[in-house]
Structure 1
């Protein structure tokens, strides 16, 4: 948003032209995610009478599909975040398995985080921002309240102020708010200090072309100091070949725009072959009854099927002629599949992710064995997701202990367990694990660590408390 860039420059922040121009790429990537790029999806043709008509392409909207799939591979409600301190775990997420309570549950974390990753992978950048709702300010320090997680899923609202080798250390986050029916611009700046961060909140009346600064709403603290980082940026783990030193991320399909266009062009041709390939029957006027000078056809007759040729049929004795054009289904499907294969490989999924032809299902085990590119790409992207989640959890626990007064341990070990069910035959793995328990090769507590997400101490304690725990098929 140009208004935010101008505000930051007016306040003395240096925003390079190179970084400012990068937002034009963000805007283009968002258009692909939305599914409509005028320069690609609008096209003109000269028709029979010599006039020019504009048409819209039929679209597959693969940019959104790619982004959704990456989000589902990286962060879902099957992802587990475990802390090796029981009180801290309860505060963060409730129990260790369902994780629908605590701070994460209150903030509907799993569904919102999944949507954030989707948007971040589409437009290049997203961010988790922590706030303390209903806190009081005492000697420039926050007291009380509860942790609120804000999901900044619009890359155009993230403005890096300082960064080092791509890591954003200071940042401004913008959002549009409505107060008393009037549009306002909310700007939240996180500025690095010697001991932590200074957070500055600003509001601007945005009814006019130029925003005018106004007082912040009641209940919002204008400025405070905190010894903890409150924002964590999410972006694809990709080298930026558009702006090498950019602190903003690169869309996962930034280098696949031609492939996205190819998919839509191929699909548009596929659909139009059906539209233009409709069956037609050309008829001699002599077999059509007329009424008031117009053909009198039955109301139940598909009138689009029939065309009057007057009395000029190819054969003077011919009363009607069918026309059944070829639909080129096989050729079109092959063209679409080729476009999908190239796109799939380009965005890190390998060539076998999408199928326009295959009506059979592939098992997860087969998928893992046949698509090494996908598993390697997922492992690479999870490095970034894991780092963000661990940092976010540490900051939540720090706020819980130092601001809100909960008896949690911000130094507790945090473990992220990703959902690998799409790559594994979980039932077969569990059966094998249980067999190894029966054979004495493994211990029962190891099962709890692997499949319940518990740490070793907790798992051993649970087994010791109840030796009557029966595993399916185990004695």
Structure 2
């Protein structure tokens, strides 16, 4: 990942690149490997008499679970987009739909939480507006303004005609309009080789593009809430688990011990030596000793004491509850470090899953964290939609007029249906609401449908009497 720093410095020597190479290498790269399931502690030395080399420990993958949970909480309800012009709103929604925003948003936010940020790059390809989803490892923010990050460098690699290339794009604002500079390099041996003209690979694309009518950056940046305490003054965000790596390691150690408990605790019996047989390998001549568990015939064995023939069960008791309690304690610590309420992540199923309605019903740390990140997510979508509309105006798909965008997350929550039904039953029994209102809430139907349903219920009761 640190290659983007050196590559960007070579592509744009006149640009002041932030001194973030150490942060990329020690934080973003490490968090990326943990998120992908390849943490630094993934392998441990084998133990035992014949243990040689290393073995891969069993992992819980809590880093990805945490990022997916935060992404789900951020995007658990519908994001409603409002534009001043109905034509602009319809156009923006269509472009987002064509580029799979609603399907890709959860994965985008999950990686953004894992790596400390992400960007949505807007571009025009063949007269059509397109959206590219960029992770933090491929983007360097180089400047900020009143509206957030407004300048940055994107790095990407691709294959074309059997050759590998690296493209660097510098996005910025000059004179109140967007400007993009591009540099293209051929890759050899995993490193940048020679610079080649952009037009040689991308026909019709120049090394510099200016957009006089584009008064906003052609990208939108999302940075998770919270201060980057590992790089003071940095424009880069921080992974949601960058300060929790010790807890994640402890969780994997506990889960590995829990998994090996079933291996080491397999059924074992102690048998007298006279019951052990030997067999010779005809190829190697090696003698192996074994106990024939399938032997069901009588055997004449020489022994002085009856106790010598006794077969003893020496199976160890599995410590399941102790491991579960330890893992849940570590999960509570992880929730505390990540700004979530205790019990948001749970290893057992008895506690159940917290629904979004339960989170909304109380002022918890999870609710505060969710609302803070939702505000930043709404800002990301607003900036992206504003850029999409401006690009549509450049392409002639929309008339030139003022752009006014607002994004709000609706209060519609993913609730537990059983919880809704139980609550309405209790309200009816207490005489606080009518049966019609309870049926409307439980079945999500109109008043007419609720009345007809109650009439059917009364008719069935009369027939059963």
Tell me, yes or no, whether TM beats 0.5. Answer: yes
Greater CA deviation, 332-341 or 221-230?
A: 221-230
Q: Sort the Cα spacing of 1:362 and 1:296 in 2 relative to 1 into closer, same or farther, 3 A.
A: closer
Matched, 1:229 2:217: yes
Q: Is the 8 A contact 1:79 1:419 kept in 2?
A: no
Matched, 1:31 2:33: yes
Q: Which runs of 5+ in 2 are unaligned?
A: 281-286, 296-300, 425-433, 435-443, 453-465
Q: Sort the Cα spacing of 1:312 and 1:185 in 2 relative to 1 into closer, same or farther, 3 A.
A: farther
Aligned length: 412
For residues 386 and 268 of structure 2, the distance between their equivalents in structure 1, rounded to whole angstroms, comes to 69
Q: What does residue 123 of structure 1 align with?
A: 115
Matched, 1:406 2:387: no
Q: Is the 8 A contact 1:35 1:61 kept in 2?
A: yes
SS of corresponding position for 1:382 = helix
Q: What does residue 457 of structure 1 align with?
A: none
For residues 126 and 330 of structure 1, the distance between their equivalents in structure 2, rounded to whole angstroms, comes to 40
For residues 312 and 61 of structure 1, the distance between their equivalents in structure 2, rounded to whole angstroms, comes to 54
SS of corresponding position for 2:328 = helix
* Offset, 1:417: 2.3
Q: What does residue 81 of structure 2 align with?
A: 81
What pairs with 1:276-315 in structure 2 (closer than 5 Å)? 276-288=264-276
For residues 121 and 313 of structure 1, the distance between their equivalents in structure 2, rounded to whole angstroms, comes to 71
* Offset, 1:474: 8.9
Q: Is the 8 A contact 1:166 1:246 kept in 2?
A: no
Q: Is the 8 A contact 2:83 2:406 kept in 1?
A: yes
What pairs with 1:455-470 in structure 2 (closer than 5 Å)? none
Q: Sort the Cα spacing of 1:159 and 1:312 in 2 relative to 1 into closer, same or farther, 3 A.
A: farther
Q: Is the 8 A contact 2:151 2:217 kept in 1?
A: no
Q: Which runs of 5+ in 1 are unaligned?
A: 94-101, 135-144, 302-309, 432-437, 439-450, 452-468
Q: Is the 8 A contact 2:150 2:217 kept in 1?
A: no
Q: What does residue 317 of structure 1 align with?
A: 308
Q: Sort the Cα spacing of 1:290 and 1:362 in 2 relative to 1 into closer, same or farther, 3 A.
A: closer
Q: Sort the Cα spacing of 1:58 and 1:198 in 2 relative to 1 into closer, same or farther, 3 A.
A: same
Q: Sort the Cα spacing of 1:351 and 1:363 in 2 relative to 1 into closer, same or farther, 3 A.
A: closer
Matched, 1:175 2:160: no
For residues 140 and 387 of structure 2, the distance between their equivalents in structure 1, rounded to whole angstroms, comes to 21
Q: Is the 8 A contact 1:74 1:418 kept in 2?
A: no
Which of 343, 346, 369 in structure 1 is aligned with 2:337?
A: 346
Q: Is the 8 A contact 2:272 2:311 kept in 1?
A: yes
What pairs with 1:189-338 in structure 2 (closer than 5 Å)? 189-208=170-189, 209-216=191-198, 217-226=202-211, 227=214, 228-288=216-276, 316-338=307-329
SS of corresponding position for 2:308 = coil
Q: Is the 8 A contact 1:157 1:175 kept in 2?
A: yes
* Offset, 1:315: 8.1
Q: Sort the Cα spacing of 1:197 and 1:88 in 2 relative to 1 into closer, same or farther, 3 A.
A: closer
Q: What does residue 445 of structure 1 align with?
A: none
* Offset, 1:107: 0.6
Q: Is the 8 A contact 1:158 1:172 kept in 2?
A: yes
* Offset, 1:415: 3.2
* Offset, 1:212: 1.6
Greater CA deviation, 69-78 or 283-292?
A: 283-292
> CA-atom RMSD, angstroms?
3.5
Q: What does residue 347 of structure 2 align with?
A: 356
Q: Sort the Cα spacing of 1:44 and 1:165 in 2 relative to 1 into closer, same or farther, 3 A.
A: farther
For residues 401 and 42 of structure 2, the distance between their equivalents in structure 1, rounded to whole angstroms, comes to 54
SS of corresponding position for 1:206 = strand
SS of corresponding position for 1:354 = coil
For residues 414 and 146 of structure 2, the distance between their equivalents in structure 1, rounded to whole angstroms, comes to 34
Greater CA deviation, 105-114 or 176-185?
A: 105-114
Give TM-score scaled by structure 1 length: 0.77
Q: Sort the Cα spacing of 1:410 and 1:32 in 2 relative to 1 into closer, same or farther, 3 A.
A: farther
Q: Is the 8 A contact 1:175 1:185 kept in 2?
A: yes
For residues 283 and 251 of structure 1, the distance between their equivalents in structure 2, rounded to whole angstroms, comes to 55
Q: Deviations over 1:414-435 (max 9, x none)?
A: 232246514787968xx9xxxx
Q: Is the 8 A contact 1:3 1:211 kept in 2?
A: no
Q: What does residue 14 of structure 2 align with?
A: 12
Q: Is the 8 A contact 2:185 2:194 kept in 1?
A: yes
